[in-house]
Amino acid sequence: MIYFDQVSKIYNGTGKTVALEDVSFAVEPGEFISIVGHSGAGKTTLLKMLLAEEDPTSGTVFFESVNIHGLRDSEKPMLRRRIGTVFQDFKLLPHKTAYENVAFAMEVAGRTEDEIAADVPHVLDLVDLGSKMFNFPGQLSGGERQRVAIARAIVNQPDLIIADEPTGNLDPVNTYEIVQILRKINDMGTTVFLTTHNKGIIDSVKKRVITLDQGRIVRDDKEGGYTL
């Protein structure tokens, strides 16, 4: 499904910064992969490559058989519609309800009003927020806001979910709930990319772990734990 083929990324500023160096790995459909590494290890750059937000200095990133960085700008939105993204800071629209935040993602994708009316309550129920669909973000806890963000990410049925430090601002109880929802989504067949510094998450998920250090893959464990 996804293939990084000898990918390197060098930023030229006051000095050259190597963000990724000769990174190669493949991802099968339906995998759950945790990407770990210290700050500056290259995790964010790797995710930006998948979203076609950064071009590699060398190497190639494939999504299925498509060279992501060979796409024209007009073709990139179609790629991104196949990828749902969950951020640490939620990125919800504060003046829209939970329902409206999720519906907005469907509107942007060109879905019909009937589809929105059918699908939005369903995904909010999936993340256990059916009773709060008309609450605004300011009326929700941090964990509830992140669940809205997950509902928004999955409502268009993407092939891949990217969760970038999704529990970084949450307490242990909410962290556990978010991880369980991501596992549920993965069990339904969606590929999940998770970046995290949380050792407990990695050890509990017991799925594939790729460890980055200074832009290089130093471990790729099929059922790994947190080893930094």
- Tokens for 10? 């060098």
Domains and CATH numbers, the chain: 29-52+73-221 (3.40.50.300)
pLDDT tens digits for range 30-78: 999 999 988 889 998 999 999 999 999 999 999 988 999 999 999 998 8
pLDDT tens digits for range 107-118: 998 999 999 999
- Tokens for 66? 């498509």
- Gap between the terminal Cα atoms of the chain: 27
Alpha-carbon span 58 to 160, nearest angstrom? 24
Neighbouring residues of 103: CB distance < 8 A, sequence distance ≥ 6: 116, 120
Alpha-carbon span 39 to 18, nearest angstrom? 14
